[in-house]
Structure 1
Amino acid sequence: MTDNKTFQQESSILYIVPTPIGNLGDITQRALDVLSSVDVVAAEDTRHTGKLLSHFNIQTKTFALHDHNEQNKADILVERLLSGQSIALVSDAGTPLISDPGYHLVSRCRQAGVKVVPLPGACAVITALSAAGLPSDRFSFEGFLPPKTKARKDKLQEIAQVERTCIFYESPHRIIPSLEDMLDVLGPGREVVIARELTKTFETIQGMPLGELILWMGEDENRRKGEMVLLVHGYRQPGEEVLSAEATRALTILVKSLPLKKAAAAVAEIYNLKKNALYKWGLDNLD
């Protein structure tokens, strides 16, 4: 591990700088050092980023780079980088390029031989996945669902039999239509987790079968407000046993003192599960 107590600014570097998704305390010291020392900050919304910089007493000038001008402005920034300047790329929140602008700029930088340095930091996708309780060994981020019903259902059909966890962003005014389309395509039993207002005062992470989740969302309009991440459990083969967190935890404990087959049989009896499903889970997940 490198311990850089003093940040060393270099020239001709594009820094990819994540910014907080809600809680300003989540920004890293390295991000602050970069934002303070670069020649310019390329920002999705200069007014929004200006407030962030002002909060941390950073005086660096900003340059607007958003979806509507990125292809035209990317070359200007590449020229500045090639002339010896360094630039920090930020979006309104989270990690740039993750459903945010920046792809064209980074692509052109790499084509031009400009060094691109990514900083780790806030990302709503990973934050939500880490607390959702869904399988995280295989997952895909699918961005925003399409706004129109036909296109949205077509997209959901694409992932209907995908076995990995699929993650989407969604807006408050489309959350109910999107869940209803999920219900039509995926069925009422598919487990879905909604993570809203992550890192903020009213952070909520709720998971349940789709049929129940829609009812839960409809009970309180506050549950339909804020920035949202939807996480969809992967497809299960017909008849595949659903193992609860309690059952797998019990198996994890018992295998420390029993052979896996005996431990699986004991847990199956306690939780009324099939021992073969527990045994297979143990083979796949336990050393």
Structure 2
Amino acid sequence: MRLMTIASGSSGNAGYLGSERTHLLIDAGISRRRIVQGLEAADLKPADLAGVLLTHEHADHVTGLKVLLKKDPVPLYATAGTLAAIQKKGMLDDYPAERIHVIRGGEAFSLGDLTVLPLSIDHDAAEPVGYRVTYGGKSAAFLTDLGHATPELEAALRNLDALLLESNHDVRMLEAGPYPYPLKRRILGDCGHLSNESAGRLLSLLCHGGLKQVLLGHLSKENNLPELAYETVRCELRLTHGKGEAEELPLAVAARDCCSKLYEF
């Protein structure tokens, strides 16, 4: 399998997951031009995509969708709630119904040689999901935009080979920052975003010897720093697993405005 982020942050999100034969775009929250440039970094073009999988309808995940679908009529996969929300924004006007596929959290489906499992999450969106994708006994997951992880979600994320995990904010930076109080409460709530500490605690539960790569993503521009996210998550891993095992886990921070390395596993 292969995994790459094209952009990951509060200002826009798009990522790639796939096998040698089947290629998926996760979200389209940046311009089509940037998406195309990102795919080119993996020697791909939009016509190679088997599908675009949406996590939810917020602007930083769908901004580039309408132009992308207009120029590249790729099959679209999303929950009923997400589709209804983006239809209200006019993003699917005149898009052929046969290219739109309704998915449900907890119900796996096949795309080429990939098995895709949408993961229901708690976020202030219509019907948001993350994704676990499996090929040839290997699994990777994209998980951002959630206020907390339920036991059911934790169970669905066991035994991964690679993971993109939200590490959105530092709690102290957020509390002391310029955001209005209601927005701070929203971000910190159970349907908001994972803090660095929360991401570290969740990763501590998921950490195992076969986990080959973790990318921390969806960092807030105003309320986080890449170095702070990295060190906080490492600290949580050390507290749970000890220094030796914690340091062995390959961990990196996904960039906000450029592609990550293309990870193969």
TM-score (norm 2): 0.31
Q: Which has the larger radius of gyration?
A: 1
The answer to which structure, 1 or 2, has the higher relative contact order (CA under 8 A, 6+ apart) is: 2
Which structure has the highest helix share of the two? Answer: 1
Which structure has the highest strand share of the two? Answer: 2
